[in-house]
Amino acid sequence: MNSSRKYRLAGRLSLTSLLLALLIALGVFLRVRQYAFNRSLWLDEALLSQNIIERPLDRLLTEPLENNQAAPLGLLLLAKWSVLLFGDSDLALRLVPLLFGILALFLALDVSRRAFQSDAAQVCFVGLVAAAPILIYYSSEIKQYGIDASVSLLLLWASLRFKAQNAKSRAT
Helix (H, G, I), strand (E, B) or coil at 72: coil
> Packing angle between helix 43-54 and helix 73-86, nearest 10 degrees?
70
- In angstroms, rounded to a whole number, what is the distance separating the alpha carbons of residues 94 and 141? 6
Rounded-to-5 percentages of helix, strand, coil across the chain? 80, 0, 20
| Tens place of pLDDT per residue across the chain (172 aa) | 455 555 555 555 689 999 999 999 999 999 999 999 989 999 999 999 999 999 999 999 999 999 999 999 999 999 999 999 999 999 999 999 999 999 999 999 999 999 999 999 999 999 999 999 999 999 999 999 999 999 999 999 999 999 888 777 777 6
| CB contact set of 125 (below 8 Å; sequence gap of 6+) | 108, 111, 112, 115, 116
pTM of this prediction exceeds 0.95 = no
